[in-house]
Structure 1
Amino acid sequence: MRKPEPVAPPRLPIALRAAVSTAIPVLLGWAAGDIGAGLVATLGAFTSRFGIGRPYLSRGVQLAVVAVALAAAVAAGAWAADIAWLGVLTISAVAVAAVWLCTALAVGPPGAYVFVVACAAGVGVSASHLSPGRIALLVLAGGAIAWVLQMVGAAAGFRRPERAAVRHAADAVAAYLEDIGGPGQDRARHRAATALHQAWTILVNHQPLAAPPGSELARLRAATHAVHVLFADAMTTAARGQTPEPDAAGVARALGTLQAEPDTIAHRDPDRLPLGRPPILGLLRQALQTGSQTRRVMVRVAVGVPLAGYAAVGLGVDRAYWAMAAAVLVLHQGTPLWRTLRRGAERLLGTWIGLGLAAAVIVVHPQGWFLALVLALLNFAIEMLVTRNYLLASVFITATALTVGTAAHPLDPGQVGHLLLARGLDTLIGCAVGLAVYAALAGRQETRRLGDAIARTRAAIAATEPFVAAGDAVSLPARAARRDLQRATLDMLEAHEAATGGSRDQRAAADRQWPDVVAAEHASYETIAALWAIEQR
């Protein structure tokens, strides 16, 4: 029985883009006789890490905003570099703001961490004695190169990301149809609901322009609507203890590849505007509300990052921003306890191993095209490994950072040893402070997370009941209530998964509240299925 895998673009083209995005600024700087300027511009190559999997038009807008934000972050770091305490406060402010914006607006990986690294790097590149304005322009130029390389794939298939999302959702629904009545039914249902939510996000939220009737985007929306109807009907069938039609899974997969006519399953009014996500200001306000997971993570970052910075300054470490970047890495994703501990340990061990590789590169001191090749290979390795083995990726991340920081000026052996020792020490400080802050705050913060998520799901169910009673599934308030209910249900399941990976008390609470989670999940999907049935009638 074929199970759908998460939508994960192949790493090879991503790694190639990262490598070329890094090499071009270095080569241009070498050709212009200013290798230092080329190295500063490589900070803009971080732009190539964003937008993966997004539709190309939305990707272009997002990447442009990211490039400008990176340039501003680096310039802010350079502006505050001369005063240690001001640099710590600036990086801390950028960290908190980046967590807020990236999480609330679902920017996607690598998220807030990159902007903090960029700001911290701005403190380091201030030694080049370039003005913050010129530094920002160089980073923006590097971002423009990365933008072009990210967007060049549109020539090979402008709607390729949308097609992949619809196909993945259809496969997930087909797998659920095949699993009904089996032990994996609930898990398959959750995967299908998540995949459909992602597909609608890509087809609606990530579309800056309207879809003309008859366009490929309109056909993909119609196919996804039909797949969603199949999913809703299957949930109703499963609730009655019945099994779906034998060919239902095949129909779902055919819809996902546009090989079946959607109108044979359900007709979607092409004149009805699709309901997108809530307004941006609303999302930002929700992220700041009491009980929001984004707010919890922001508090951890607001405490941990400056503590790491001031601890490094107090211990005499000359580049405290490395410690701050390490603390952000540990804290910014809001992962459960064991995943957080693992990420911190991987970063620490990877950094220490990477110091050896960095030492070899620094001693060789590559220049010109050789430097561009070395940095390209290092970034290629990072992108190939970062999703599969973060420990190994950290080895190359460390070597890359130290190569960029030292390539413009050769170091004598004594300076190399001091640099490596300092980098290992401040990474240890940052990881230790990040884990200590997590241990001090997360236990108390996470205690109510699952209970709050269950309560929000029940409230969302109650908000949809008047529309079910009135037989209204197509008005704007009814569709908004259905959207909010699905999002609340997915958040609740995510909160339960986090609790199962948390502390002993959190795992015990997850076990106690599991019946409530199951009941709320079933009620939610029954309500959603009822609304879909009303819409079809």
Structure 2
Amino acid sequence: MSPTDKPSSLRQLLRKLITIRPDPGRNKQAVILTIPMAVSLVTMGLLTDPTHAAMGMMGAMSALAGNSNAPLSRARILLGVGMATIFAQCLGLLSMRVEWLMPFLLAAWTLVVIWTWHALQLGPPGPLNILFAGAFGAYMASQGWTIGTILTSTGPSFLIAAGVSMIISFISPHRPVRLAVEKAETAVNRYCEPDEEVEAHEVARLRSAAHAAIHQAWWAYHDGHATRVDSPSEKSELSDLRARLVTAHMRLEHQLRLEAFPSADLSLPDHLEWTPLGRPKTSYLLRTALERGSRPTMLGLRAATGVFFSALLMILLPFGHPYWAILSVLILMHMDATRSDMTIRAIHRVLGTIVGLGLYLAVAAFRPSGWVQLGLIIVFLWTMQALITRNYGLSCIFITCFALLMTPLTHPGEMYQLAQDRIIETVVGLAVGIITIHVVGRRAPVLLVRSQYRRTLRSTMPVLRSLEEGHTSSPQAQVERNQMVHELIRGSALLSATRPDAPQALQDWSRVDRTVTETGYDLLSVCWHTIDEPVPWARRILADIAIFITGLPPISSQNLDAHTVADQVERIRRDMVTSLPGVE
């Protein structure tokens, strides 16, 4: 690093810390997200008492899961998240019977949950509430909680909030699909109508973005549509959205053909039934996540390591409780992010916690009644949701406040001890977290990228086999093409996500990404223009890819010559495209 780079990096860090990003419509979205939790709190307060209602907040917050999904998909996610949250609290509660087992149990739970969440690509808001429920359950064991308490507080709170959130979802059931289709149309327009002076690498980026948007739109459509079959006579918003998506998809494939085979005399048949299937099968997602060098495994191991050492350290230290330190670690690592972003998040967390503790002490000094306390929790929840996408540090102020207000106190003076413990626990948790993110997986970027591009190339092989056999319109061939597109999209996304953590090691892999994605999309275009006709040259291309993959060294964190890899893949691609009639 040159002397001029360090001040620049510092300025960039400071800018990220103080920047408040614009997010139009976030205040309204925060209201929508807060209503289910508010209804749950008030209802539980009326049925039991305000203190009991506040202690069930873990259940109410879990109802945020799947908030960007269509109702059918969200219902499935909520069912799984609700059961996992209650199980996690029971696990944390039982782990305190033998305190030394707690770090092992919570670390194992963290590994399983984060791996599963990222393997199935469930998306935001992430599994934080499920994970924190285990740590919170361990803490509440010291407050006299039993499994019965969980079943009468967390369980009902979740059911009420989940029910309200589903009602809100049904008010505009097709909104997630509509937003996905609009995004796909915009991305396709940008690819098909680029600026006149756009460079080749930018065209490649726009092409990948268009395919990703189309793929995600079909994913959203099928996730929210039970039958996956539209009645021809059905006139509904969903059928209109499907028609718009088909039009955008056909336009994308036309443009792909013109770009890949400009000299070929190929027409695009009517392949309305060839649209991607959306989300790949669960078995496929889990199987690929188990492979060496998978992103879910790295994320799960890193988070589990942080949870283990933060819990163990808090047991060894003569102060505080493990659960807040565990929360600090999980906030950093429950979602996929670069090391620099997680470091900034840690600084935000410390500063926000300090200010939040001051606000909490000011509020607690007035000794608000139970109902006033519930009202403040609701206000803090809305403020947190309104700020979290704009500036995480500011949102941490209110995260701290409502989290402390839901913690029961046995006497007024305990709040000062609680505030002191929170500062210490936050610092310990974040220190462990930062060390973990800079040690665990430091050499992983190359491993992840090598594994992903091998997987992407491997996904082309079944497609070539179906092409060779003339089965391009069979249901199995559609599944294989969908998996290939999924891996093409995931490859580009992975490189973008990992490059900031290893810029020098991965600087040449952009060429590999362009070549591999061009090969995949050219193959996709061939399939769209071939109707169940055997393609003899597909066997040769299939053999070339198989030989190439077999000749690669075993997957490891050892880097490869990216230019050599790109050159070999490019030769295979050129052989494929020149094998078509009319292509020179």
Residues 463 and 10 of structure 1: CA distance in aligned 2, closer, same or farther (over 3 Å): farther
Decide whether the 8 Å contact of 1:493 with 1:517 is kept in 2: yes
Q: Which residue of 2 aligns with 1:232?
A: 253
User: Per-residue CA shift, 1:359-380, capped at 9, x if unaligned?
Assistant: 2222223223311210001100
Residues 206 and 30 of structure 1: CA distance in aligned 2, closer, same or farther (over 3 Å): closer
Q: Which residue of 2 aligns with 1:331?
A: 333
Matches within 5 A, 1:123-202: 123-179=138-194, 182-183=198-199, 184-202=202-220
Equivalents in 1 of 2:532, 2:243: separation in Å? 13
Letter in 1 for 2:460: I
Equivalents in 2 of 1:126, 1:21: separation in Å? 27
State the number of aligned residues. 501
Equivalents in 2 of 1:416, 1:157: separation in Å? 43
Aligned with 2:242 (options 221, 225, 233)? 221
Matches within 5 A, 1:347-496: 347-406=349-408, 409-412=410-413, 415-496=414-495
Question: Are 1:306 and 2:321 counterparts?
Answer: no
User: Per-residue CA shift, 1:8-65, capped at 9, x if unaligned?
Assistant: 9943344224433333344344435633321122221113321122111221232232
Q: Residue 508 of structure 1: CA displacement?
A: 1.4
Equivalents in 1 of 2:210, 2:91: separation in Å? 43
Residues 77 and 428 of structure 1: CA distance in aligned 2, closer, same or farther (over 3 Å): same
Residues 366 and 531 of structure 1: CA distance in aligned 2, closer, same or farther (over 3 Å): farther
Decide whether the 8 Å contact of 2:58 with 2:129 is kept in 1: no
Residues 418 and 153 of structure 1: CA distance in aligned 2, closer, same or farther (over 3 Å): closer
Q: Residue 409 of structure 1: CA displacement?
A: 4.2
Deviates more, 1:438-447 or 1:275-284: 275-284
> What SS is found at the alignment partner of 1:129?
coil
Q: Which residue of 2 aligns with 1:297?
A: 299
Q: Which residue of 2 aligns with 1:510?
A: 506
Q: Residue 212 of structure 1: CA displacement?
A: 4.3
Residues 211 and 463 of structure 1: CA distance in aligned 2, closer, same or farther (over 3 Å): closer
Query: Normalization by structure 1: what TM-score?
Result: 0.86
User: Per-residue CA shift, 1:112-144, capped at 9, x if unaligned?
Assistant: 221111121222333442421331332121112
Q: Which residue of 2 aligns with 1:521?
A: 517
Question: Are 1:46 and 2:61 counterparts?
Answer: yes
> What SS is found at the alignment partner of 1:88?
helix
Decide whether the 8 Å contact of 1:19 with 1:375 is kept in 2: no
Q: Which residue of 2 aligns with 1:203?
A: 221
Residues 316 and 21 of structure 1: CA distance in aligned 2, closer, same or farther (over 3 Å): farther
Deviates more, 1:423-432 or 1:200-209: 200-209
Decide whether the 8 Å contact of 1:339 with 1:501 is kept in 2: no
Aligned with 1:532 (options 511, 528, 532)? 528
Decide whether the 8 Å contact of 1:169 with 1:196 is kept in 2: yes
Decide whether the 8 Å contact of 1:472 with 1:534 is kept in 2: no
User: Per-residue CA shift, 1:191-236, capped at 9, x if unaligned?
Assistant: 2111111111111244344434134445533432332121111122
> What SS is found at the alignment partner of 2:178?
helix
Residues 431 and 130 of structure 1: CA distance in aligned 2, closer, same or farther (over 3 Å): closer
> What SS is found at the alignment partner of 2:406?
helix
- Two-structure CA RMSD over aligned residues (Å): 2.7
Deviates more, 1:433-442 or 1:275-284: 275-284
- 4+ residue stretches of structure 1 with deviation over 6 A? none
Equivalents in 2 of 1:80, 1:265: separation in Å? 61
Equivalents in 1 of 2:88, 2:153: separation in Å? 13
Q: Residue 519 of structure 1: CA displacement?
A: 1.0
Equivalents in 2 of 1:446, 1:342: separation in Å? 20
Equivalents in 2 of 1:109, 1:297: separation in Å? 15
Equivalents in 2 of 1:352, 1:187: separation in Å? 42
User: Per-residue CA shift, 1:142-188, capped at 9, x if unaligned?
Assistant: 11221122122344333232222222211211121111762342222
Equivalents in 2 of 1:223, 1:205: separation in Å? 17
Decide whether the 8 Å contact of 1:29 with 1:36 is kept in 2: no
Letter in 1 for 2:505: A
Equivalents in 2 of 1:417, 1:397: separation in Å? 18
Q: Which residue of 2 aligns with 1:341?
A: 343
Q: Residue 324 of structure 1: CA displacement?
A: 1.3
Residues 133 and 25 of structure 1: CA distance in aligned 2, closer, same or farther (over 3 Å): same
Query: Normalization by structure 2: what TM-score?
Result: 0.79
Runs of at least 5 residues in structure 1 that lack an aligned partner in the other structure: 1-7, 243-263
Q: Which residue of 2 aligns with 1:499?
A: 498
Residues 34 and 139 of structure 1: CA distance in aligned 2, closer, same or farther (over 3 Å): same
Letter in 1 for 2:528: W
Q: Which residue of 2 aligns with 1:268?
A: 272
Equivalents in 2 of 1:410, 1:14: separation in Å? 37
Q: Which residue of 2 aligns with 1:280?
A: 282
Q: Which residue of 2 aligns with 1:96?
A: 111
